[in-house]
Amino acid sequence: MDDEVYAFALKNTLNEIQNICPDVKNSFMFNEDGEIIAANENTPEKTLVQVVNAFDGMMEKADALGGVEGIIFEGSKGRVSISSVSSFYLVTVTTKDADRNLVDTVTRVLVPTVLRLLEKITSAPLKNIQPKPKIEREIQKPEIEEPFGEPLEKHRMQEPEELSEPEVKPEAVAPEPPVNQFIVENIGGLLVPADTVRIDNDILAQWEELYEGKKIEEVEIETFGRKSVTCRVKQIKDSKYEGKGIVQMPEKIQTTLEIRKGELVKVKPVVQ
């Protein structure tokens, strides 16, 4: 999906939140790199830059904030909240008297729903079906000589030359996804997406080399009880876990798979 269309859909979502909750004065979304994804019409660009810069240092230390689901700043005139939504971060600025339950309910339902819908549209495979080429055989017509004063002589019809079938090269078969076993380790924090796991960068590099440089963005995790889930993947940031066969996993994914810290799981790359 085009980035402009993606951003347009999210912008309309943020505007709709303000229509439902007029006490929401400003709202915007940004990613882990500090890039602004979308903002409602009432939020000036200067405000976006100031807020993202203010949280820049916090993002670098997000792994140290284990167990924190969100941050709220209360002021004399209103409230600023930041929360993790899928792989993005949502910031809302509300008035002091805003109905907190209503705002939280709307943002936690509407934004994730739109994101899931956009992801489904983006990941929908496009079938590239090409019709097989038709081979037409040309049959030469018999030539009839008709010299003046002489009877017509019939000539044999020339047999058409056999046309060789075009050579069809076999399609390259992609290698089977390798399966690695990892030990589950907890991961939490304010800016840690609930749908993303982390593994060694060396493993990601090996997978990408196997698939000729294709970036691995998703993995399939399967337990020995045959439960499985597909989620996003990033490299481990904490050096103390590198090279130890660890997969850092949020509590939400552990709950889905019915596992916990210390258990063994199988992980393989998902190649689009």
CATH classification of the domain holding 241? 2.40.40.20
Q: Are residues 9 and 117 in the same domain?
A: yes
Mean pLDDT of 93-110: 85
In single-letter form, the type of residue at position 250 comes to: P
Checking if the pLDDT of 213 tops 90, the result is no
Domain count, the chain: 2
Mean pLDDT of 170-198: 80
Last residue of a domain, one of 84, 105, 123: 123
Give the range with max mean pLDDT: 125-129, 132-136, 159-163, 221-225.
221-225
In a domain, 162, yes or no: no
pLDDT at 60: 55
Last residue of a domain, one of 56, 89, 123: 123
In a domain, 218, yes or no: yes
pLDDT at 258: 93
In a domain, 173, yes or no: no
Q: Are residues 116 and 41 in the same domain?
A: yes
In a domain, 247, yes or no: yes
Q: How confident is the model at residue 198 (pLDDT cuts 50, 70, 90)?
A: very high
| Per-residue pLDDT tens digits for 238-250 | 778 888 889 999 9
What pTM did the predictor assign? 0.46
Q: Are residues 87 and 193 in the same domain?
A: no
Among 18-27, 107-116, 120-129, 235-244, the minimum mean pLDDT is found in 120-129
Q: Of residues 152 and 21, which shows the higher confidence score?
A: 21
Q: Are residues 8 and 104 in the same domain?
A: yes
In a domain, 135, yes or no: no
Where residue 23 sits, what CATH number does that domain have? 3.30.450.30
Range of the domain at 98: 3-123
Q: Are residues 82 and 184 in the same domain?
A: no
